[in-house]
Structure 1
């Protein structure tokens, strides 16, 4: 009587194990759900060209998704997010502006630094004022534009000027780096302090001048998925693309430095 009972129990266990194995295999083989729908990315103005390219790449890799961008000064974007503006991803031009969002616990996890950026003096092609150093910006009659001190490019400019012990009065303070660049492009200003990536993105419409004090004002760029992201899955995938080797290649080509 014991032997058949034992055999029956063994058979039952084997059947159970087999059933469990099949169930486990089914779960493992089940493909991840395809990404779809809109993805809204709030990003610093200096990221416009590179992120637009990455957005197109993301849509190509994930048919059915649509990436929309809002490019502006990081402080304005952070205020919009904390004010309830719907977005999936935030990429800021400094940890300080990202902190506006993290302090309100509006990110899903810890932001990651994905690139760095550095300032250059920008002037019109041909550099007619022969600018070669930061101190040259304080020359008489020179019209200089800076980013507002509240935005990352403005804060970086103030650090660089302090490092070089240069004092100047700009003709205007712009709300983002593209605004400062445009003033020079339109010849409404003789020079400005902008990111090297913006000089490169201008494709010859301006001329950049490197200066050593910029090393004292390098900006780290953090990126994060937002806590209430309407499309969290796609948001995570976009951040993964930005941080991937492929994404870093696009950003490096735009002039950004690796973190």
Structure 2
């Protein structure tokens, strides 16, 4: 055998050994990947599942009366998205709701029509975290259909013989109305002060009053039962609406989820359609 042949064989042997070693390393690497990948995927899935537990039970929401239509709709959406949950509402004047909460009424979420009434709750440390403003609302005059009394301004509400209804001054809509009147230098004596904005609106719907100062959202929800009259002074008395989870919420996880829905794009669309202003 010649020297060149021996050299060739030796080179082939070395090359073959190198290829075999590379194949072995590749197999180990592949085996290692296939062994950890499913485990890693499973771990991720478990973590994801653990961070979003299935919600169930009742969520109790105390909310300003002006939120009735939009929150009722969002409550149905919430129940649809989270089978096994049920949303119950207590709508009313924000001041009365705040008083109930600080007196120990069981609730998960509080949505107020003003920061002032929300402060009653947060001041007693009955809330978790900082309340978030999710919408704003502006006043409007609600008159009888067709506006037979020719009410075209805030000043027109002072006409002699006109039966006007306002929200109580302790209620956000009443405080805002008084702020608008003060800014205009007007004095108005209503035939009654109502405990929430829906009460004031109902007086006009039932023709027990000629006009009421309510929110744009309430005029819109009433449809053809009333006629709305805008007035420029309302721009000086716009209310922010904050929402918060309550400290002793019986269903804290669902409370957080409901607040998230209210503040989501989906919630924003519902509130926008109701006539609320963006925060």
TM normalised by structure 2 equals: 0.84
The runs of 5 or more residues in structure 1 that have no matched partner are: 1-14
2:219 is equivalent to residue 189 of structure 1: no
Name 1:9's counterpart in structure 2.
none
Secondary structure of the residue aligned to 1:220 is strand
1:235 aligns with 2:269: no
Matches within 5 A, 1:47-86: 47-86=67-106
1:29 to 45, 54, 60: 45
- Distance between the aligned counterparts of 1:37 and 1:221, measured in 2? 26
Determine the structure 1 residue equivalent to 2:11: none
1:135 corresponds to which of 152, 155, 168: 155
Task: Give 1:39-50 correspondences, 5 Å limit.
Answer: 39-50=59-70
In 1, Cα distance between the equivalents of 2:278 and 2:104?
32
Q: Indicate the SS of the match to 2:155.
A: helix
Q: 2: distance between equivalents of 1:102 and 1:203?
A: 36
**Which residue of structure 2 lines up, in the alignment, with residue 253 of structure 1?**
273
Higher Cα Rg: structure 1 or 2? 2
Tell me by how many angstroms 1:22 deviates: 7.9
From 140, 145, 150, the counterpart of 1:125? 145
Which of 223, 229, 234 aligns to 1:209? It is: 229
CA displacement at 1:28 relative to structure 2 = 2.5
**Residues 22 and 227 from structure 1, CA distance in 2 versus in 1: closer, same or farther, beyond 3 angstroms?**
farther
* Partner of residue 218, structure 2: 198
What residue is the counterpart of 1:150 in the other structure?
170
User: Residues of 1 paired with 2:200 and 2:99: CA distance?
Assistant: 21
Residue 174 in 1 paired to residue 194 in 2?
A: yes
Structure 2 residue 238 is matched with structure 1 residue 218: yes
- In 2, the alpha carbon distance for the partners of 1:100 and 1:245 equals 29
* Shift in Å, 1:227: 0.9
- SS at structure 1 position matched to 2:150: coil
Q: Distance in 1 between matches of 2:114 and 2:43?
A: 42
Give the deviation of 1:26 after TM superposition: 4.3
Scaled by the length of structure 1, the TM-score of the pair is 0.91
Q: CA deviation at 1:164?
A: 1.3
Measure the CA separation in 1 of the matches of 2:63 and 2:149. Answer: 34
1:165 paired with 2:181, answer no
Q: Structure 1: how far apart are the matches of 2:81 and 2:92?
A: 26
Quick one: distance in 2 between partners of 1:159 and 1:126?
27
Residue among 126, 131, 135 paired with 1:106: 126
Counterpart secondary structure, 1:155: helix
Q: CA–CA distance in 1 between the matches of 2:39 and 2:176? A: 57
Separation in 1 of the partners of 2:219 and 2:244? 26
Deviation of 1:230 after TM superposition, in Å, equals: 0.7
- Which ranges in structure 2 are unaligned for 5 or more consecutive residues? 1-31
The runs of 4+ residues in structure 1 deviating greater than 3 Å are 21-27
Task: Give the Cα–Cα distance (whole angstroms) in 2 for the partners of residues 78 and 100 of structure 1.
Answer: 6
Structure number with the higher helix fraction is: 2
